[in-house]
Structure 1
Amino acid sequence: MSTVPVPVAEPATAVGRVRKRLTSRTASAISLVIALIWTVPTLGLFISSFRPEADIKTNGWWNFFTDPKVTLDNYQDVLFGTSGSSGRLATYFINSLVITIPSVLFPVAFCALAAYALAWTKFKGRDWIYVAIFALQIVPIQMALVPLLQFFNIFALEDEGSFVQIWFAHTCFAIPLGVFLLHNFMSELPGDIIEAARVDGASHARIFRQVVLPLIVPALASFAIFQFLWVWNDLLVALVFVPGADSTPLTVRLAELAGTRGNDWQRLTSGAFVSIIIPLIVFLSLQRYFVRGLLAGSVKG
């Protein structure tokens, strides 16, 4: 009597177990609670930024739903006001963009090249260089401020209105984490693809440009989002390395408003929402790459 073999279910892979946990009802409930906790203050800030000054100072933002009053004077004042107490954030907003965009592009480019060299080229001392770069992550930024200022002083990079030194500072601070993240991602790429390109006579530059870059887009996007949010919201590095008032970013001006005009809540709410609108757009537009970059290479199975 012949018997038909009963297929044995294969053990769940690590990816399957992680996906099952993340899609369970408990995980979904926790995600909803976290999203609610995160969204409610942002909603209150957004509503308050459109409320008249008298309403903001006399009652909470939730009263808007019973007595809705909307005005654009807060944004007009905080962006384009001419008085000394107004925010005049339009100029500082441009400064933040000028500081942030190069401070993201430079580290992404340098870290991608360095990660490829450490992952797919063989040279003496490669592992020690990677360990040294990884160890730099534990060095506090505060310890590097004075040496960097001395370096800028030696090479005369402290010109008024110049952004070179803050670009350089943000790039230096981003390299350890960027190389670590991109190296881990690149090292998980199939070696057969790289070897096939080498057999076909492709140089390292061509392999990096035509083979590796298309495969690491999620990792690059994840690192770029981290770096963008860090630079855009930075206050310490901007206070130390921005050489003059003409180059001051948005965060410094908001700190001045909070410190000297703390009673002008209508300006603070609108100014705060102006400062977060760009990070929200960047995150929401790149979130699919962000999630893929976080999950890729984290588990095997």
Structure 2
Amino acid sequence: MSTVSASPAAPAATAEPASAFARLRIGRIAANLALLLIVALWTFPTAGLLISSVRDADQLALSGWWTSLTTSEATGAAALGTAADQTDEDGQYVISGDILADGTSFTVSAVGITSREPGAFGVGEPVEMRDGGILTVDETGAYRWTSATPFAHERGPRVYYVASEPPRFTFDNYVSVLTANGIGQSFINSLTVAIPATVVPILIAAFAAYALAWMSFPGRGILVAIIVGLLVVPLQMSLIPILRIYNGIALTFGGEAKGYLGVWLAHTAFGLPLAIFLLRNYMVGLPREIMESARMDGATHFQIFVTMVLPLSFPALASFAIFQFLWVWNDLLVALIFLGSQDTELVLTGRLVNLLGTRGNNWELLTAGAFVSMIVPLIVFFSLQRYFVRGLLAGSVKGG
């Protein structure tokens, strides 16, 4: 009688899917960790700038933003009073004063009579001075130097101390920046430049993208190729020829060579290739059946564009709006050339550059000014960020 043995291949067949699942799970964990690292690298500088902008100026000069929640500690030195400052109190000669500057919030934790050991004695502990007498210092910095014999020194000895200060935060930095001369006008100038320079190219590019995607006419392929080629043209190479042409046109018609119209046209021209490229590739991927049904119902191209294509293309429009607004808001070169550098015309980036030149040592003002310039772009990005990835990916991979 023969027996049939169990096949040993069955466990191996189930082990292979389990191994593939484990590799897939490890790959997802690695991808999530890499994404988390990228987010941290982008977030930490912004968080550090925000924290630094609300820190006290003295603490910001002594330590980094990552220590903002810890107590600051510093060493210092101060000169005591001379014999001319002594008073006679019932036969005891006393020199008193304060080793801390007026208005400081530091608290003395230790004192010393040499720079090598600035914290040799605790507060309230009697310290025997080399010039005679006993010195005591309390935590507020007030000292009392007493002696049974009159003091005779003409130069006050130095005493060293260790002081600590709790973390302090203030909005005075923002008040100083926002009330600085010209900041408010520059902020309005930046908004005046950025909003039209974002809306106008989007409108023009939307019409052009629809025509290149859904209208048949001779040379359409050549136009698409030219637009793709314009994406690689650097701004710096074309800026001078465009400026010469613009100045020539302005002088011919008797207009001013510098003004908002010039900077709007320049930003529109430089932003159109990318806008048309993204929007055209997105519109090509829209369902053809919807377009054909609308045409069968007698809708014109303009009606299809306004009522159907624009609402469906909102993710792509939002993606380019973020790109264009951030570029225009942070721009300085184009604004200086086409708008000028006068106080009434200077944009916010130019004003902050001037602030950096005049107050380069005031880090608290520079960090507050930098974050003021970031507030509007951050609001725009977080308002439209849910459409950003979807519109950008769709506009990059779809085509026809």
TM-score normalised by the chain length of structure 2 = 0.65
**Counterpart pick for 1:41 among 35, 40, 45:** 45
Deviates more, 1:157-166 or 1:123-132: 157-166
Deviates more, 1:204-213 or 1:59-68: 59-68
Of Structure 1 and Structure 2, the greater helix share is in 1
- Specify whether residues 299 and 173 from structure 1 end up closer, same or farther in structure 2 by C-alpha distance, changes over 3 A only: closer
- The one-letter code sitting in structure 2 at the alignment partner of 1:36 is A
- The one-letter code sitting in structure 1 at the alignment partner of 2:196 is P
The answer as to 2:33 corresponding to 1:29 is yes
Alpha-carbon contact 2:258-2:338 (below 8 Å) kept: no
Of Structure 1 and Structure 2, the greater strand share is in 2
Secondary structure of the residue aligned to 1:286 is helix
**Counterpart pick for 1:138 among 206, 229, 232:** 232
**Counterpart pick for 2:197 among 96, 103, 125:** 103
Measure, in 2, the Cα distance between the counterparts of 1:129 and 1:102: 25
**Counterpart pick for 1:272 among 370, 376, 388:** 370
The answer as to 2:68 corresponding to 1:64 is yes
Gaps of 5+ in 2: 1-23, 71-165
Secondary structure of the residue aligned to 1:267 is helix
1:212 maps to what in 2? 309
State the aligned residue count. Answer: 275
2:56 maps to what in 1? 52
Measure, in 2, the Cα distance between the counterparts of 1:161 and 1:150: 12
Which is higher, the Rg of structure 1 or of structure 2? 2
Alpha-carbon contact 1:74-1:270 (below 8 Å) kept: yes
**Counterpart pick for 1:197 among 294, 299, 303:** 294
Measure, in 2, the Cα distance between the counterparts of 1:231 and 1:299: 26
Cα displacement (A) at 1:299? 5.8
TM-score normalised by the chain length of structure 1 = 0.86
Structural RMSD (CA): 2.0
Q: Residues 1-301 of structure 1: matches in 2 within 5 Å? A: 24-66=28-70, 67-82=166-181, 88-156=182-250, 159=256, 162-245=259-342, 246-296=344-394
Tell me the percent identity. Answer: 53
Cα displacement (A) at 1:282? 0.8
Alpha-carbon contact 2:281-2:396 (below 8 Å) kept: no
- The one-letter code sitting in structure 2 at the alignment partner of 1:131 is A
Q: Which has the higher contact order (CA 8 A, sep 6+)?
A: 1
Measure, in 2, the Cα distance between the counterparts of 1:146 and 1:289: 36
Cα displacement (A) at 1:160? 7.8
Measure, in 2, the Cα distance between the counterparts of 1:204 and 1:231: 32
